[in-house]
Amino acid sequence: MHQLTLTQIARGLADKAFSAEELTRTLLGRIAEHDAQLNSFITVTEDQALEQARRADQRRAAGETGVLLGAPIAHKDLFCTRGVLTTCGSKILHNFVSPYDATVVAKLAEAGAVSLGKLNMDEFAMGSANESSHYGSVKNPWDRTRVPGGSSGGSAAAVAARLIPAATGTDTGGSIRQPAALTGLTGIKPTYGRVSRWGMIAYASSLDQGGPLARTAEDCALMLGAMAGFDPKDSTSVDQPVDDYLATLNKPLTGLRIGLPKEYFGEGLDGAIAEKVLAVVEELKKLGATIKDISLPNMQHAIPAYYVIAPAEASSNLSRFDGVRFGYRCENPADLTDLYKRSRAEGFGDEVKRRIMVGTYALSAGYYDAYYLKAQRIRRLIKNDFVEAFTEVDLILGPTTPNLAWKLGEKNADPVSAYLEDIYTITANLAGIPGLSMPAGFVDGLPVGVQLLAPYFQEARLLNVAHQYQQVTDWHTRAPAGF
């Protein structure tokens, strides 16, 4: 059963080929057997999962037919989950048990999904390798000496290793798409405002967006259909109807215009990955798409703009973690100032401290205009590049990452080299547009991902193209050895 996709599981549950409880027990057994090799889970909620599975079976017996009813998933550990430890991968939240459910958690629970636990992640979603977690690094199931990508590395590793069929993730600068690419999965970052951020512990509020990771575009469509929608509790949520993502999966690609930005194929891109990207282009041409060369001239400024804006917002968002109200508190503080200083110094990891310091500096008197305001202006230029490009093409295609998954610890001494791994994904967050990564082959036994970008609220178009590509290729069906 663990080899079944989410879509196949939905069909099997509907046909009574197995029960939700049988499936849940099977996957809980796999987590117990295999996760010590991967470290993808922070918390496994066995008792709660079995109770949810029994309720799902009862609801089906009473005549309910929801596609996710009884389907097992797990949540990235920054979605607040009532009665369950929610840590954000940080020591500072090592003892925080959420008193409420995030909207995404509530929506999936209402659809009948069974949550098996909370997944490991870079601390407060800050990282590209899932090496900054207080709970240890996550290993890539394709090669356990390598990173799975981040910050949703636990989600990606667990799905790739067939411990669960799908998981939630979040994407601030590529943190769904990049780990999807490095572990051979499909992952989609929706348009900013498409999925509620309420109860999703913030890293950078104007960039964060939740979305699914799964093995196929069809599975992502199932998940996103349940996750998306307006939420009055989230001031950044957009009040716009949710498309039926499943309804257009089989739409032909005839006449689809796909843009290839020249900036994607310059210095820094692994030549073997470039070949895989161009092979995808050829397959899409066979399916009826037309290809056009385009330019995104301000892409070169994306990394510096992002690493001013995101840390600035993080420095503000993380100021609430002070040892007073919840989370980690230092022992025997001398006074209130000592409590603040030592609780934060002892509770946050090195990468989080680095970004808080950068962000605080960028927002400080005398530097706001020079750094933060200028970065926001560059952000608008990047957005304008996409708006203009989408007058010429329907989608933009390119590599998801410039390199293959790297060795654990390889980039720890040079954080900037890790930041550069997000060069192709960051622009979608700065502009707020949707993006998807899909499997496109292997190089030296490691997965390669190709990224698709679309205009605002065109997630259905991304899923349609990825699904059509997956009907004529089998990269998405490959499993890592031993899992």
Summarize pLDDT for 353-366 with one digit per residue, the tens. Answer: 999 999 999 998 88
Is residue 337 packed enough to be buried (19+ CB in 10 Å), middle (13-18) or exposed (0-12)?
exposed
**Selection from 19, 315, 93, 464 nearest residue 1 by Cα:** 19
What are the pLDDT digits (tens) for 298-352? 999 999 999 999 999 999 999 999 999 899 999 999 999 999 999 999 999 999 9
Domain coverage including residue 180: 6-252+434-477
How far apart (Å, rounded) are the C-alpha atoms in residues 429 and 434? 8
Phi-psi region of 323 (alpha: psi -120 to 50; beta: other; left: phi over 0): left
Q: For residue 4, name the pLDDT band (cuts at 50, 70, 90).
A: very high
In a domain, 285, yes or no: no
- pLDDT higher than threshold 90 for residue 477: yes
**Selection from 276, 309, 292, 306 nearest residue 425 by Cα:** 306
Decide which of 284 and 1 is more confident. 284
Other Cβ atoms less than 10 A from the Cβ of 416: the count is 9
Q: Hey, which residues are catalytic here?
A: 76, 151, 175
**Placement of tokens 């990173």 in the chain:** 147
How far apart (Å, rounded) are the C-alpha atoms in residues 32 and 22? 16
The phi and psi torsions of 121 (rounded to 5 degrees) equal -165, 160
Residue 282 has what pLDDT? 97
pTM of the model as a whole? 0.96
In a domain, 420, yes or no: no
What are the pLDDT digits (tens) for 235-267? 999 999 999 999 999 999 999 999 999 999 988
In a domain, 85, yes or no: yes
- pLDDT higher than threshold 90 for residue 369: no
Residue 124 has what pLDDT? 97
Q: For residue 410, name the pLDDT band (cuts at 50, 70, 90).
A: very high
How far apart (Å, rounded) are the C-alpha atoms in residues 167 and 212? 6
- pLDDT higher than threshold 90 for residue 413: no
Which two structure tokens, joined as six digits, stand for 6? 């989410």
Q: For residue 415, name the pLDDT band (cuts at 50, 70, 90).
A: confident
Using a pLDDT cut of 70, give the percent of the chain over it.
100
How far apart (Å, rounded) are the C-alpha atoms in residues 66 and 150? 31
In a domain, 261, yes or no: no
Residue 452 has what pLDDT? 98
Q: For residue 367, name the pLDDT band (cuts at 50, 70, 90).
A: confident
In a domain, 383, yes or no: no
What are the pLDDT digits (tens) for 154-196? 999 999 999 999 999 999 999 999 999 999 999 999 999 999 9
Average pLDDT, the chain: 96
Answer yes or no: are the C-beta atoms of 30 and 162 closer than 8 Å.
Answer: yes
Answer yes or no: are the C-beta atoms of 293 and 396 closer than 8 Å.
Answer: no
How far apart (Å, rounded) are the C-alpha atoms in residues 428 and 174? 8
- pLDDT higher than threshold 90 for residue 368: no
Which two structure tokens, joined as six digits, stand for 367? 């530097």
Q: What residue type is assigned to position 145 of the chain?
A: T
Residue 44 bridge partners (DSSP): 117
What are the pLDDT digits (tens) for 204-223? 999 999 999 999 999 999 99
Domain containing 161 — which CATH number? 3.90.1300.10
- pLDDT higher than threshold 90 for residue 24: yes
Residue 55 has what pLDDT? 97
Q: For residue 401, name the pLDDT band (cuts at 50, 70, 90).
A: very high
Which two structure tokens, joined as six digits, stand for 228? 């998306």
What are the pLDDT digits (tens) for 272-302? 999 999 999 999 999 999 999 999 999 999 9
Which two structure tokens, joined as six digits, stand for 108? 């999936």
How far apart (Å, rounded) are the C-alpha atoms in residues 64 and 14? 10
Residue 316 has what pLDDT? 94
Q: State how beta strands 210-214 and 166-170 pair.
A: antiparallel
For 337-346, the CB contacts below 8 A with 24+ separation are 343/92, 344/92, 346/91
First to last CA, the chain: 12
Which two structure tokens, joined as six digits, stand for 90? 């940080």
What total number of domains does the chain contain?
1
Answer yes or no: are the C-beta atoms of 106 and 168 closer than 8 Å.
Answer: no
